[in-house]
Amino acid sequence: MGKMQPLIWLLAICLIACNSPEKGTEGQEILTDDKQEETTYNPDPAHYARVSLDYWGHYKGTIPCADCEGIKIAITLSKGDLFEIERQYLGKSETIFSERGSFEWDDTGNIIILKGIDPPNKYFVSENRLFHLDEEGRKIRGALEEKYILNKTD
C-alpha cells in the first residue's frame, strides 16, 4: 500500500482538476454544456459602435406585437445624437405615432437609449443594424430573435 499511496494522491488531484471550471483569459469562467451560456464581452474602446461605426441614417423593421400583427418601426439617427421614431401598430390602426428627441449612449458605447420614450427604448448598434432590446436592455433571444432587428435603409 505504501507504494500505491502517491499514485492514489496523483489520481485524486487529476480528478479534482478535471472537474474544476476552466478560466478564460480575462479570468472569466468558461461555461460547459451543463451551464447556461452567459458571457461578458469587453471590447477594445476603439471598436465601440459609437466611435467606429457610421451609425447615422434610417433604419426600418417590423417587430412582434402581443396584441397586433406587428409594430412597424422607422428610426432616423442624426448627428448631434438626435432621433426620430415612427411606429405603426399593424392590424390595429393606420395611425403612425411619431416622436423626436435626443439619445444617449450607455457606458459600453454600443447601446443607444432614446430619451423621453417609454421602455423598451434601447437599441444595440451594429454594422447597418439596430437590435431592439428588451426592457432590461438585453438582446431578445430565441425563435423570434431575428424579428427584433431594424436594418439600415440608406
Domain boundaries, the chain: 49-152
Task: Report residue 37 as a C-alpha cell.
Answer: 451560456
**What is the reported pLDDT for 13?**
62
Of 3-12, 88-97, 110-119, minimum mean pLDDT range: 3-12
Under the banding of pLDDT at 50, 70 and 90, the label for residue 55 is confident
Task: Report residue 72 as a C-alpha cell.
Answer: 412597424
Q: What sign for the dihedral angle of Cα 41, 117, 65, 55?
A: negative
CATH class of 49-152: mainly beta
> Is the full-model pTM beyond 0.75?
no
Do 8 and 16 meet the contact criterion of CB atoms below 8 Å apart? no
- Asked if the peptide bond before residue 43 counts as cis, ω within 30 degrees of 0, the response is no
How many residues comprise the chain?
154
| Greatest mean pLDDT range, 31-35, 44-48, 135-139 | 135-139
Of 30-44, 67-81, 134-148, minimum mean pLDDT range: 30-44
Under the banding of pLDDT at 50, 70 and 90, the label for residue 100 is very high
